Copies of this chain bind each other. A is one copy, B any other.
Amino acid sequence: MAYTPPGETRKKVYEFVRERILNGSPPTVREVQRAFGFRAVQSARQHLEALVAEGKLVKDSGKARSHRLPELGRVRSPRLIPMLGRVQAGELTTALQDPGDYLLVQKSPFDDRDLFALTVQGESMIRAGILPGDTVIVRRQPAARPGEIVVALVGEEATVKRYREEQGRVELHPENDAFEPIVPRADGEPFSILGKVIEVRRSFE
């Protein structure tokens, strides 16, 4: 193989490996070798070792396909989370186990709670900048603090609302004057908090 200026191939190797990691299949040393047409395995290994030494990659010695992006620094670990559409009570567990689609998120390495995503249905949260069709990313947790936006199961349906406590009573507030607050216990409906909304995404295009 032709000799390239110092650092040039290294950079391309890094980009190649990073791409593969983000795609979910970190390459083996020999896959890197083939991708760059090296005639020696060691050529690929040298670059990979150097990248690890530089801190741009980390790896688990001796294991296959073990290169990863460093957790600290600029890039947080990519994580795929299940994406749900409209959710009914009974279906939730099923839906989470067999979701139709996945969403890629950058997850905090310090938080190992479950994440999932769902599509917003109604217009009840418009004032909070959450529109129908938006995707909300939810962190599973059984309780919330007043003021937080939560996904709650009221009766048979999952709903996105702002969590409040008025006179020691749980209330779910819409952000739209055309809707009324929900007072779960009073309604006698089965009620539980599924989790807290930690991100909203909306795509155009």
Q: Are A22 and B126 in contact (CB under 8 A)?
A: no
Q: Would you call A34 an interface residue if the criterion is a C-beta within 8 Å of the partner chain's C-beta atoms?
A: no
Q: Which of B131, B148, B203 contacts A199 (CB 8 A)?
A: B203
Separation of A86 and B102 alpha carbons in the complex (Å): 31
Separation of A155 and B201 alpha carbons in the complex (Å): 30
Q: Would you call A21 an interface residue if the criterion is a C-beta within 8 Å of the partner chain's C-beta atoms?
A: yes
Q: Please indicate the chain B residues that have their CB under 8 angstroms from the CB of A148 in the complex.
A: 204
| Interface size bracket, A side | 35 or more
The secondary structure that dominates the A interface is: mixed
Q: Would you call A130 an interface residue if the criterion is a C-beta within 8 Å of the partner chain's C-beta atoms?
A: yes
Q: Which of B22, B68, B72, B126 contacts A79 (CB 8 A)?
A: B22
Separation of A130 and B201 alpha carbons in the complex (Å): 11
Name A98's closest neighbour in chain B (CB-CB): B56
Q: Are A64 and B28 in contact (CB under 8 A)?
A: yes
A8 to chain B, nearest CB (A): 14
Q: Would you call A51 an interface residue if the criterion is a C-beta within 8 Å of the partner chain's C-beta atoms?
A: no
Separation of A146 and B197 alpha carbons in the complex (Å): 33
Name A63's closest neighbour in chain B (CB-CB): B28
Name A130's closest neighbour in chain B (CB-CB): B129
Q: Are B75 and A78 in contact (CB under 8 A)?
A: no
Q: Please indicate the chain B residues that have their CB under 8 angstroms from the CB of A65 in the complex.
A: 25, 64-65
Separation of A205 and B71 alpha carbons in the complex (Å): 19
Q: Would you call A61 an interface residue if the criterion is a C-beta within 8 Å of the partner chain's C-beta atoms?
A: no
